[in-house]
Amino acid sequence: MTTRLIVNGIDKTFGDFQALSDVSFTIEPGQFVTLLGPSGCGKTTLLRVIAGFLEPEKGEILFGDKVMNDVPPNKRNTAMCFQSYALFPHKTVYENIIFGLRMRKVSADEQRKRVKEVMEMVDLVGLENRKPYELSGGQQQRVALARAIIVRPEILLFDEPLSNLDAKLREKVRVDIRNIQHSLGITTVYVTHDQAEALAISDVVIAMNKGRIVQKSDPKTIYNRPSTKFVADFIGSANITPGTCTEFAGSTAVVDSLYGVLRVQAADLTPGEEAFLCIRPEDFVPIFAENAPHAVNVVTGSVLHAVYMGNSLDLFVKVNDHVVRISAAKDCPIPEGSQISFTVQPDKICVMKG
């Protein structure tokens, strides 16, 4: 049984501070949705409202077609992995993990089976009888994760469940989470600060800012077609420039920007209209003598820094007194201080109205 989660017009205030304003979205049954947003934007608050720990002033939470507002947390059949772990300090790792199963009166055999499975998944085998204070931060986090996952509820809520794990383990566990979630079809809301993680595992990414939802799209769209400057800037790195449309014909606009005049593929822009352009660093391609004649949107500047990133070489180029970031091939032979020209395809430029 998988459940659709509907969040409808939620307002939540603390004193006179508005933590959530008019938050609405729908998550289809079995979808994996990531909440992304700066610290303090209300992600944890939203999860707490969904789980039922906080009562919103306005709006509704629906699981399927049931309104959940008056249902207490213990009857909601969600499982949350807390940002603060919230482990039971007096219980052992094992007792912590089986708590949800005990409350649901799952048979002892089934309990043992599932514990074994989930302990292996989060790599905790051997620590069953420790108390939380005898664990490292990362181990505690894995107990919190295991405690939530093992329940197999209708809706899983993860609040930065992997933030304290090393890169290797994080990658493994997140694939495991995704597999379990997928095979059981559990509707999942996942909060993370790691944008790569968000893009890699989500069906849908929701970007939040200051208690509001800014954009809800699949990972590709949110990365390539951010709807606002905030989203473009927050997810990945972006070169953002204001611009004024000078011509519009067919589906191509000519925009006068800080980087010069650029041809942009756009659905609707009227001459004289102002907008922002977003260009991802990897969409800029350096040009050398051989491919120069065919290029459109050529921009020229001098390289301020070249930063080796491992899988790419990032160049910070001064163009008309503005710094542009370009991801070049990692073995690209461009020294700092040299002049460079580069180009961007019109369809790779995203137009944002706000």
Partner 1 sequence: MMKRRKFEWGYLLLIPGIGYIVFFVIASLYIMVAQSFGFYNYTGSSEFSLTFWQNVFTRTFFDDLWFSFRTALLTALVSIVICYPLSLLMQKIPGRKTFLSILKIPMFVPALVASFLIVNIIDYHGIINIVLVKLGFIEEPLRLRNDPAGIGALVVQIWKNVPFQMIIMYSAIEAVRKDVKDAAANLGANRFAILKEIILPITLPSALVAVIMVFIRTFNDFAISKTAGPYYPTSISNLMYLHAYTFGDWNTSACIGVMMMVTSIVFVSFYTYISKKIAD
Interacting residues toward Mg ion by CB under 5 A? 44, 83
Q: Which one, of 342, 238, 207, lies nearest residue 284 by Cα?
A: 342
CB nearer ligand ATP, residue 39 or residue 74: 39
Q: Which one, of 272, 275, 295, lies nearest residue 284 by Cα?
A: 295
Single out the residue of 6, 19, 61, 146 in contact with ligand ATP (rule: CB under 6 A): 19
288 is in the binding site of which of partner 1, ligand ATP, Mg ion, none (Cβ under 5 to 8 A by kind)? none
Considering only 3-11, 35-43, 106-114, 162-170, which stretch makes contact with ligand ATP by CB under 6 A? 35-43
Single out the residue of 9, 24, 28, 40 in contact with ligand ATP (rule: CB under 6 A): 40
CB nearer partner 1, residue 82 or residue 248: 82
What tokens does 238 get?
A: 């972006």
Binding mask 59-88 for ligand ATP (x = CB under 6 A): ------------------------x-----
Told to check if 94 binds partner 1 by CB under 8 A, we report no
39 is in the binding site of which of Mg ion, partner 1, ligand ATP, none (Cβ under 5 to 8 A by kind)? ligand ATP
Binding mask 62-91 for partner 1 (x = CB under 8 A): ----------xxx-xxxxx-x-x-xxxxxx
CB nearer ligand ATP, residue 180 or residue 191: 191
40 is in the binding site of which of partner 1, ligand ATP, Mg ion, none (Cβ under 5 to 8 A by kind)? ligand ATP
Q: Work out how close the CB of 153 gets to partner 1 at its nearest, in angstroms, rounded to a whole number.
A: 9
**Rule CB under 8 A: which of 23-62 touch partner 1?**
48, 51-53
Whether the CB-CB separation of 161 and 84 falls below 8 Å is answered with: no
17 is in the binding site of which of ligand ATP, partner 1, Mg ion, none (Cβ under 5 to 8 A by kind)? ligand ATP
**Rule CB under 8 A: which of 142-171 touch partner 1?**
147-148, 151
Told to check if 161 binds ligand ATP by CB under 6 A, we report no
Considering only 13-21, 162-170, 248-256, 316-324, which stretch makes contact with ligand ATP by CB under 6 A? 13-21
CB nearer ligand ATP, residue 41 or residue 303: 41
Binding residues for ligand ATP, per CB under 6 A?
A: 14, 17, 19, 37, 39-45, 83
